Protein backbone atom coordinates (compact mmCIF):
# COMPACT_ATOMS: atom_id res chain seq x y z
CA UNK A 1 0.00 0.00 0.00
CA UNK A 2 2.84 2.40 0.80
CA UNK A 3 4.29 1.75 -2.67
CA UNK A 4 0.94 2.58 -4.28
CA UNK A 5 0.69 5.82 -2.32
CA UNK A 6 4.29 6.71 -3.17
CA UNK A 7 3.61 6.07 -6.87
CA UNK A 8 0.55 8.31 -6.76
CA UNK A 9 2.50 11.06 -5.00
CA UNK A 10 5.26 10.83 -7.58
CA UNK A 11 2.76 11.03 -10.44
CA UNK A 12 0.98 14.06 -9.01
CA UNK A 13 4.19 15.88 -8.12
CA UNK A 14 5.64 15.17 -11.58
CA UNK A 15 2.56 16.60 -13.30
CA UNK A 16 2.57 19.66 -11.07
CA UNK A 17 6.30 20.13 -11.52
CA UNK A 18 6.06 19.77 -15.29
CA UNK A 19 3.27 22.34 -15.47
CA UNK A 20 5.07 24.83 -13.23
CA UNK A 21 8.38 24.24 -14.98
CA UNK A 22 6.84 24.77 -18.39
CA UNK A 23 5.26 28.03 -17.33
CA UNK A 24 8.51 29.31 -15.91
CA UNK A 25 10.45 28.10 -18.94
CA UNK A 26 8.19 30.07 -21.27
CA UNK A 27 8.51 33.17 -19.13
CA UNK A 28 12.28 32.82 -19.18
CA UNK A 29 12.49 31.89 -22.87
CA UNK A 30 13.12 28.20 -22.08
CA UNK A 31 16.32 28.88 -20.18
CA UNK A 32 16.81 26.53 -17.23
CA UNK A 33 13.72 24.43 -18.00
CA UNK A 34 15.25 21.18 -16.75
CA UNK A 35 16.52 22.82 -13.59
CA UNK A 36 13.12 24.32 -12.79
CA UNK A 37 11.43 21.02 -13.52
CA UNK A 38 13.79 19.17 -11.18
CA UNK A 39 13.44 21.75 -8.39
CA UNK A 40 9.66 21.76 -8.55
CA UNK A 41 9.57 17.97 -8.66
CA UNK A 42 11.54 17.79 -5.42
CA UNK A 43 9.47 20.54 -3.80
CA UNK A 44 6.05 19.15 -4.65
CA UNK A 45 6.99 15.57 -3.84
CA UNK A 46 8.35 16.58 -0.44
CA UNK A 47 5.25 18.66 0.22
CA UNK A 48 2.90 15.82 -0.68
CA UNK A 49 4.82 13.27 1.37
CA UNK A 50 4.62 15.59 4.37
CA UNK A 51 0.91 16.22 3.85
CA UNK A 52 0.01 12.53 3.51
CA UNK A 53 2.21 10.84 6.10
CA UNK A 54 2.87 13.48 8.78
CA UNK A 55 -0.10 13.19 11.13
CA UNK A 56 0.33 16.75 12.48
CA UNK A 57 0.71 18.48 9.12
CA UNK A 58 -1.78 21.32 8.47
CA UNK A 59 -1.31 21.11 4.69
CA UNK A 60 -4.55 19.14 4.18
CA UNK A 61 -6.29 20.97 7.04
CA UNK A 62 -5.75 21.61 10.71
CA UNK A 63 -5.83 18.69 13.11
CA UNK A 64 -5.80 18.48 16.90
CA UNK A 65 -2.82 16.52 18.19
CA UNK A 66 -1.67 18.18 21.40
CA UNK A 67 -3.19 20.11 24.28
CA UNK A 68 -1.83 23.37 25.58
CA UNK A 69 0.79 23.14 28.29
CA UNK A 70 0.13 24.56 31.73
CA UNK A 71 -2.81 22.38 32.77
CA UNK A 72 -0.91 19.13 33.44
CA UNK A 73 -3.43 17.11 31.42
CA UNK A 74 -2.88 13.85 29.57
CA UNK A 75 -5.36 11.96 27.40
CA UNK A 76 -5.20 8.18 27.13
CA UNK A 77 -6.41 7.02 23.71
CA UNK A 78 -6.73 3.46 22.43
CA UNK A 79 -6.95 2.51 18.74
CA UNK A 80 -8.07 -0.51 16.72
CA UNK A 81 -10.53 -2.11 19.14
CA UNK A 82 -12.60 -3.64 20.28
CA UNK A 83 -10.47 -6.74 20.62
CA UNK A 84 -11.36 -9.27 23.27
CA UNK A 85 -10.39 -10.23 25.87
CA UNK A 86 -8.00 -7.26 25.95
CA UNK A 87 -10.51 -4.43 25.57
CA UNK A 88 -12.41 -5.69 28.61
CA UNK A 89 -9.14 -5.96 30.55
CA UNK A 90 -8.28 -2.36 29.70
CA UNK A 91 -11.77 -1.31 30.80
CA UNK A 92 -11.30 -3.08 34.16
CA UNK A 93 -7.93 -1.34 34.73
CA UNK A 94 -9.37 2.08 33.92
CA UNK A 95 -12.40 1.43 36.15
CA UNK A 96 -10.14 0.53 39.06
CA UNK A 97 -8.14 3.71 38.48
CA UNK A 98 -11.28 5.85 37.99
CA UNK A 99 -10.06 7.06 34.58
CA UNK A 100 -12.09 7.76 31.46
CA UNK A 101 -10.28 7.34 28.16
CA UNK A 102 -11.01 7.72 24.44
CA UNK A 103 -11.30 4.61 22.26
CA UNK A 104 -11.12 4.88 18.47
CA UNK A 105 -13.30 2.10 17.13
CA UNK A 106 -12.81 0.06 13.96
CA UNK A 107 -16.27 -0.75 12.59
CA UNK A 108 -15.58 -4.34 11.58
CA UNK A 109 -14.11 -5.07 15.01
CA UNK A 110 -17.15 -3.49 16.67
CA UNK A 111 -19.34 -5.77 14.57
CA UNK A 112 -17.46 -8.76 16.02
CA UNK A 113 -17.69 -7.52 19.61
CA UNK A 114 -20.87 -5.44 19.96
CA UNK A 115 -21.01 -6.00 23.72
CA UNK A 116 -17.63 -4.32 24.15
CA UNK A 117 -18.91 -1.11 22.57
CA UNK A 118 -21.82 -0.97 24.98
CA UNK A 119 -19.52 -1.74 27.92
CA UNK A 120 -17.15 1.08 26.95
CA UNK A 121 -20.04 3.51 26.68
CA UNK A 122 -21.65 2.40 29.93
CA UNK A 123 -18.35 2.90 31.77
CA UNK A 124 -18.24 6.51 30.57
CA UNK A 125 -15.49 6.21 27.99
CA UNK A 126 -15.48 8.28 24.83
CA UNK A 127 -15.90 6.45 21.52
CA UNK A 128 -14.25 7.84 18.38
CA UNK A 129 -14.41 6.72 14.76
CA UNK A 130 -11.39 4.89 13.27
CA UNK A 131 -12.96 3.81 9.93
CA UNK A 132 -14.80 0.61 9.09
CA UNK A 133 -11.94 -1.42 7.62
CA UNK A 134 -8.79 0.23 9.04
CA UNK A 135 -7.60 0.64 5.47
CA UNK A 136 -5.43 3.69 4.87
CA UNK A 137 -7.23 6.66 3.32
CA UNK A 138 -4.82 8.49 0.97
CA UNK A 139 -5.92 6.56 -2.16
CA UNK A 140 -9.64 6.62 -1.35
CA UNK A 141 -12.19 8.93 -2.95
CA UNK A 142 -14.41 11.28 -0.90
CA UNK A 143 -17.32 8.83 -1.36
CA UNK A 144 -15.25 5.91 -0.12
CA UNK A 145 -14.02 7.90 2.88
CA UNK A 146 -17.57 8.93 3.70
CA UNK A 147 -18.71 5.31 3.57
CA UNK A 148 -15.92 4.23 5.95
CA UNK A 149 -16.91 6.93 8.43
CA UNK A 150 -20.67 6.65 8.14
CA UNK A 151 -20.85 2.87 8.56
CA UNK A 152 -18.76 3.04 11.71
CA UNK A 153 -20.63 5.96 13.23
CA UNK A 154 -23.97 4.30 12.41
CA UNK A 155 -22.93 1.12 14.19
CA UNK A 156 -21.68 2.96 17.27
CA UNK A 157 -24.87 5.01 17.42
CA UNK A 158 -27.00 1.88 17.06
CA UNK A 159 -25.10 0.22 19.94
CA UNK A 160 -24.96 3.20 22.30
CA UNK A 161 -27.47 5.82 21.17
CA UNK A 162 -24.60 8.29 20.79
CA UNK A 163 -22.76 9.29 17.62
CA UNK A 164 -18.96 9.81 17.61
CA UNK A 165 -17.66 13.38 17.44
CA UNK A 166 -13.97 12.53 16.95
CA UNK A 167 -12.18 10.82 14.06
CA UNK A 168 -8.65 9.49 13.76
CA UNK A 169 -7.23 8.22 10.46
CA UNK A 170 -5.49 4.83 10.42
CA UNK A 171 -1.76 5.55 10.87
CA UNK A 172 -2.65 9.25 10.78
CA UNK A 173 -2.47 9.27 6.96
CA UNK A 174 -4.73 11.67 5.04
CA UNK A 175 -5.46 13.04 1.60
CA UNK A 176 -6.96 16.42 0.60
CA UNK A 177 -10.55 15.22 1.20
CA UNK A 178 -10.28 13.56 4.61
CA UNK A 179 -10.69 16.62 6.84
CA UNK A 180 -13.59 17.98 4.78
CA UNK A 181 -15.50 14.69 4.83
CA UNK A 182 -14.81 14.21 8.54
CA UNK A 183 -16.27 17.61 9.36
CA UNK A 184 -19.25 17.05 7.05
CA UNK A 185 -19.91 13.89 9.06
CA UNK A 186 -20.03 15.97 12.24
CA UNK A 187 -16.63 15.00 13.64
CA UNK A 188 -13.34 16.66 14.52
CA UNK A 189 -10.16 15.19 12.95
CA UNK A 190 -7.56 14.32 15.59
CA UNK A 191 -4.12 12.72 15.75
CA UNK A 192 -1.80 12.17 18.71
CA UNK A 193 1.27 13.54 20.45
CA UNK A 194 3.08 10.37 21.47
CA UNK A 195 2.89 6.89 19.98
CA UNK A 196 4.93 4.14 21.64
CA UNK A 197 4.61 1.42 18.97
CA UNK A 198 3.00 -1.00 21.38
CA UNK A 199 1.56 -2.98 18.46
CA UNK A 200 5.12 -4.14 17.71
CA UNK A 201 4.97 -5.95 21.08
CA UNK A 202 8.38 -4.76 22.31
CA UNK A 203 7.70 -5.91 25.88
CA UNK A 204 5.79 -4.28 28.72
CA UNK A 205 8.86 -2.60 30.22
CA UNK A 206 9.77 -1.05 26.86
CA UNK A 207 6.20 0.22 26.41
CA UNK A 208 6.44 1.74 29.88
CA UNK A 209 9.84 3.30 29.19
CA UNK A 210 8.78 4.82 25.87
CA UNK A 211 5.67 6.29 27.45
CA UNK A 212 7.41 7.82 30.44
CA UNK A 213 10.26 9.17 28.33
CA UNK A 214 7.87 10.94 25.97
CA UNK A 215 4.95 12.03 28.16
CA UNK A 216 4.59 15.77 28.53
CA UNK A 217 1.90 18.23 29.64
CA UNK A 218 -0.92 18.22 27.07
CA UNK A 219 0.10 14.82 25.68
CA UNK A 220 -2.35 12.76 23.63
CA UNK A 221 -1.00 9.25 24.22
CA UNK A 222 -1.65 6.65 21.52
CA UNK A 223 -2.03 3.06 22.73
CA UNK A 224 -3.77 0.05 21.18
CA UNK A 225 -6.23 -2.51 22.50
CA UNK A 226 -6.20 -4.16 19.06
CA UNK A 227 -4.10 -4.32 15.93
CA UNK A 228 -5.98 -3.38 12.76
CA UNK A 229 -8.35 -6.18 11.82
CA UNK A 230 -6.09 -8.90 13.21
CA UNK A 231 -8.29 -11.45 14.98
CA UNK A 232 -7.01 -12.42 18.39
CA UNK A 233 -4.37 -9.67 18.31
CA UNK A 234 -2.19 -10.02 21.40
CA UNK A 235 -2.38 -6.80 23.43
CA UNK A 236 -1.31 -8.46 26.68
CA UNK A 237 1.92 -6.46 26.91
CA UNK A 238 -0.03 -3.21 26.84
CA UNK A 239 -2.47 -4.56 29.44
CA UNK A 240 0.38 -5.44 31.79
CA UNK A 241 2.11 -2.09 31.24
CA UNK A 242 -1.00 0.08 31.61
CA UNK A 243 -1.30 0.08 35.43
CA UNK A 244 2.39 1.04 35.75
CA UNK A 245 1.93 3.81 33.17
CA UNK A 246 -1.04 5.24 35.04
CA UNK A 247 0.62 5.02 38.46
CA UNK A 248 3.81 6.73 37.32
CA UNK A 249 2.06 9.47 35.36
CA UNK A 250 -0.15 10.19 38.36
CA UNK A 251 2.95 10.31 40.54
CA UNK A 252 4.29 12.96 38.16
CA UNK A 253 1.18 15.05 38.73
CA UNK A 254 -0.77 14.40 35.51
CA UNK A 255 -4.57 14.51 35.42
CA UNK A 256 -6.24 12.07 33.02
CA UNK A 257 -8.97 13.40 30.72
CA UNK A 258 -10.79 12.27 27.61
CA UNK A 259 -9.68 13.74 24.32
CA UNK A 260 -12.83 15.87 24.05
CA UNK A 261 -12.15 17.23 27.52
CA UNK A 262 -8.63 18.14 26.47
CA UNK A 263 -9.94 19.87 23.33
CA UNK A 264 -12.52 21.69 25.47
CA UNK A 265 -9.76 22.91 27.77
CA UNK A 266 -8.18 24.81 24.88
CA UNK A 267 -8.46 28.61 25.07
CA UNK A 268 -11.16 29.94 22.77
Better-scored residue on pLDDT, 13 or 127: 127
pLDDT > 90: percent of the chain: 80
- Tell me, yes or no, if 251 is annotated catalytic: no
Catalytic residue among 80, 130, 224, 225: 224
The domain limits of the chain are 2-53, 73-264
- Report the top-level CATH class of 73-264: alpha beta
For the stretch 233-263, pLDDT in tens is 999 999 999 999 999 999 999 999 999 999 9
Q: For residue 180, which of 134, 222, 149, 220 has the smallest C-alpha distance?
A: 149
- Tell me, yes or no, if 224 is annotated catalytic: yes
- Average pLDDT of the chain? 89
Decide if 193 contacts 155 (C-beta within 8 A). Answer: no
Catalytic residue among 79, 80, 198, 225: 79
Per-residue pLDDT for 229 more than 70? yes
pLDDT interval class at 267 (50, 70, 90)? very low
Per-residue pLDDT for 25 more than 90? no
Q: For residue 108, which of 89, 86, 136, 81 has the smallest C-alpha distance?
A: 81
Q: For residue 33, which of 44, 25, 42, 45 has the smallest C-alpha distance?
A: 25
What is the pTM for the complete model shown? Answer: 0.88
What is the mean pLDDT of the segment spanning 138-159? 97
Better-scored residue on pLDDT, 20 or 107: 107
Residue 189 φ/ψ, nearest 5 degrees? -75, 130
Amino acid sequence: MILKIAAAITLVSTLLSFTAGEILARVSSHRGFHLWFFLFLIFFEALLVLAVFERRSPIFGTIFWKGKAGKNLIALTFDDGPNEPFTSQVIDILKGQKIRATFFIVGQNAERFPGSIRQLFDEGHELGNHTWTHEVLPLKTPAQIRDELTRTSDLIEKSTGSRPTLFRSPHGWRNPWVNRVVRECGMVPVAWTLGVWDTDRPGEEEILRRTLDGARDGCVLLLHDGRGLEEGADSSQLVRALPKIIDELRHRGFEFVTLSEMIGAEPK
